[in-house]
Amino acid sequence: MALWRFRTRVPLALGAAALLLSGCANPSTGSNTDDPTKPVTLKFWHGWSAPGEVEAIDENIARFEKLHPNIDVVSTGNVSDETINQALRAGGGDAPDVVTSFTTNNVGQYCSSGMWVDLDPFMRKSGIDKTKVFPKTLLDYTRYEGVQCATPLLADAFGMYYNKDAFEAAGITRPPRTMSEMKADAVKLTQRNKDGSLKRAGFMPNFQLYQNSPDRMFAQWGPEYFDAEGKAKLADEPKTEDFFTTMRDLSDAQGGYAAMERLRARFGDEMSSQNGFLTGRLAMHLDGEWRGLMLDEAKADFDWAVAPLPVPDDQADTYGRGYLTGTVAGIAHSSRHQNAAWELVKYLTIDTEPVVRFANAIHNVPSTFEALKSPDLDADPAFRAFIEIARNPHSQAVPPSNNGGQYINSFGDFSQSVEAGRTKDLHRALEDLDEQIDADNVQSEN
């Protein structure tokens, strides 16, 4: 059975997991003086839950234990960030030694709170130059204010799935590379019912559609969210207004926001057989690398392919970029076996063979340079398209913050208001958004 893990939008409040870390210190102090060659049991908590995913991570752990017969790893899956953070706050013998998270937005809190240890000393001791191991974008979302408290453990890349049959029928010979090309192609691909309502959208930019969170599409502009002092600068970033204008023009060219929303209301759940792209109601669609497996499993009745999402016309040389996120791994501050824990983290996230094996097993993008170019990596063309997006130096992740990415939630709410036409003075509204983001950041520091 095919496996996939997909990224959902971060909930508005991010839950107690984020709040638990703010301004707290771990009451239980761990140790980085342990001898990793002595017999030890490590507790490893992770979030994978599907049988095939758990089997894949357990197989990697078994191979690790064979290489390190003195280390016994007790693995616990389907563990949420909230559960992990509560355990780390409490400390004691029941807390995990090695942890993973699917939520890169929380890395700023993991690092600033001290709950996850700084891994730089362990890398230096192992002679590892992290800049030669991990792509810069992945390093950026695993560190905060100089603290490298996590390492990437596979990644997710976002690109554009497109219906090749629809393209051929519309006389389009290749996927669009710029936003103006996308707009022209979307118009050609749009179909209407007899009553004038939309039957198929060429591309639906609506921010509430499936994986269409605005930060993922905004990544194609390569924006800067904060200035050098850490102050929000969305109002002063010229790319912001261009992004909203482009999305509105793209929507209007196909019938407008209201017509798009009426079409979206007829879609089924993202993971169901009534997915808008699978049923042919979308000709182009933003999604992650897992969607290809789902289309194959569902036996889609049309030919499809993957390309990078187009970029702004004035940044045509960055075509090939995309939005990146991923799973992160770290060592608990409370662990008394931090050197042994590092051996496990290093094996799972840096050693090429286990990274490639795990990537192939759960169909996620590898997170090291060596794994990305490994000949053993899955050769499926659609999957390879996401590999190239991950390797593109212009690809972008959102910067970490000390409050679990609250600014991304604020930007998402703001973006939905803009596309619905509720924002009249965009620049003034962006200034207000910057003030809100800065206030939230200050509050989380106190």
Confidence tier at 28 by pLDDT (50, 70, 90): low
- pLDDT score of 9 more than 60: no
User: Residue 17's pLDDT is what?
Assistant: 40
Q: List the structure tokens of 24.
A: 């707290």
Say if strands 324-331 and 98-101 run parallel, antiparallel, or are unpaired.
antiparallel
Mean pLDDT across 201-229: 96
pLDDT band at 401 (very low <50, low <70, confident <90, very high): confident
Full-model pTM? 0.88
Q: Where are the domains of the chain?
A: 15-156+325-391, 158-318
pLDDT of residue 118: 97
CA dist 101 and 332 (Å) reads: 12
Higher-confidence residue: 26 or 144?
144
Q: Which of 309, 338, 193, 336 has its CA nearest to residue 262? A: 193
Cα-based distances in Å from 335 to 28, 44, 52, 332 = 9, 11, 29, 5
Residue 288, pLDDT above cutoff 50: yes
Q: Indicate the average pLDDT of the chain.
A: 91
**Helix, strand, coil tally for the chain in percent (to 5):** 45, 15, 40
In angstroms, the CA 203 to CA 166 distance is: 12
Q: Has residue 47 got a pLDDT over 70?
A: yes
Can you read off the two tokens belonging to residue 5? 């893990």
Residue 5, pLDDT above cutoff 90 = no
Arithmetic mean of pLDDT, 187-213: 97
Taking the C-alpha atoms of residue 222 and residue 140, their distance in angstroms, rounded to an integer, is 14
Pick among 3.40.190.10, 3.60.9.10, 1.25.40.10, 3.90.1640.30: CATH of 158-318: 3.40.190.10
Under 8 Å between Cβ of 285 and 160: yes
Q: Is the pLDDT of residue 140 over 60?
A: yes
Contact 325, 397 (CB under 8 A): yes
Residue 371: pLDDT band (50, 70, 90) is very high
Q: What percentage of the chain reaches a pLDDT higher than 70?
A: 93
Residue 11 scores a pLDDT above 70: no
Domain 15-156+325-391, CATH homologous superfamily name and number: Periplasmic binding protein-like II (3.40.190.10)
pLDDT tens-place string over residues 290-300: 899 899 999 99
Give the integer Cα–Cα distance in Å for 107 and 14: 13
What is the 8-class DSSP label of residue 318?
Answer: G
Residue 4 has a pLDDT of 47
Average pLDDT of the residues in 299-328: 97
State yes or no: pLDDT of 10 exceeds 60: no
- In 77-197, DSSP assigns E strands to 98-101, 151-163, 191-192
- 8 has pLDDT over 80: no
Q: What would the two tokens of residue 26 be? A: 């771990």
Q: Output the pLDDT for position 446.
A: 63
pLDDT exceeds cutoff 50 at 237: yes
What sign does the dihedral 113-71-154-100 (CA atoms) show?
negative
Per-residue pLDDT at 27 exceeds 60: no
The answer to whether the 15-156+325-391 and 158-318 domains have the same CATH topology is yes
399-427 mean pLDDT: 91
Phi, psi of 380 (to 5 degrees): -55, 130
Closest CA to 213 of 7, 441, 403, 13: 7
Burial of 331: CB neighbours in 10 Å, binned 0-12, 13-18, 19+: buried
End-to-end CA distance of the chain: 48
